[in-house]
Amino acid sequence: MDEPRRIVYLMRGLPACGKSHRARRLAGDAGVVLETDQYFYTEVGDDPGEYDYSSQLLETARQWNLDRFRQAIAQQISPIVVDRGNGLNEETQQYACYAVEHGYALELAEPDSPWWQELRVLLKYRQYVDDKLFDAWAQRLADATRDTHRVPARTIRHWMASWRYDVNIEAILAGRLASRGKVTDAVNTAFKGL
């Protein structure tokens, strides 16, 4: 009998677009959602209902989440949903390579909210879109995070400017593996069973 497929979803998207909502649905009852922001609820301050963000603790929070991810892999939990921006960066590459090295399939997932569907098209064709529209979207998303993560509009606008619509698992893995000099063999191995 075949062993059930173990999977890691890497959530992508901007704040207030429905990443966490989709992540919870993907995880279902058997899986787990891992997000760095949870650190600022559960590990900082006295009230787990309060978001106590501190930029000085961001690296600690990121490591805390990565450690939780490794524990979930060791326990063979599936699905595991990594709820963060997940682009072409070192942190995303750490999650992706660790999952593949431990036999997990990888999938990128995005919010499915109507506003994210609209915004992702605008981001894809941003060279044709007036910056004022992106400024308005950034403010709308910042306002939506006011009671939770409090992400400033200028930060969201920066993320919009650097958004890559063409990110895929292959590119994430290749970026990490290129720095190790193992691109071809490791990427081919990772995708043999997907």
- Identify whether 76 is part of a domain: yes
Q: What is the structure's pLDDT at 150?
A: 81
Domains identified in the chain, total number = 1
Q: For residue 142, is pLDDT > 50?
A: yes
Q: Is 175 among the domain residues?
A: yes
| pLDDT range class, residue 1, cuts 50, 70, 90 | low
Q: Which two tokens stand for residue 24?
A: 């919870």
* pTM across the whole model: 0.86
Residue 137 falls inside a structural domain: no
Query: In the structure, how many helices (H) and strands (E) does the chain have?
Result: 9, 4
Q: Which has the closest alpha carbon to 37: 57, 18, 9?
A: 57
Q: Largest Cα–Cα distance in the chain? A: 56
Answer yes or no: is 33 within a domain.
yes
For the domain that residue 80 is a member of, what is the CATH number? 3.40.50.300
pLDDT of 48 > 90? The answer is no
**Is 35 part of any domain?**
yes
* Structural domain for 77, as ranges: 7-111+165-192
| pLDDT of 188 | 44
Pairing assessment for the beta strands 105-109 and 32-34 based on DSSP bridges: unpaired
Q: What would the pLDDT profile of 98-133 be if each residue is shown by its tens digit?
A: 999 999 999 999 999 999 999 999 999 999 999 999
Residue range 180-190: average pLDDT?
45
Check pLDDT > 60 for residue 92. yes
Name the residue with higher pLDDT: 171 or 147: 171
Phi (first) and psi of residue 182, to 5 degrees? -125, 30
| Cis peptide leading into residue 79 (ω within 30°) | yes
In a domain, 134, yes or no: no
Residue at 54 is within a domain: yes
The pair phi, psi for residue 87, each rounded to 5°, is: -115, -155
151, two tokens: 């992400």
- Considering the domain boundaries, does residue 91 fall inside one? yes
Mean pLDDT for all residues in the chain: 87
CA 122 to centroid of chain Cα atoms: 20
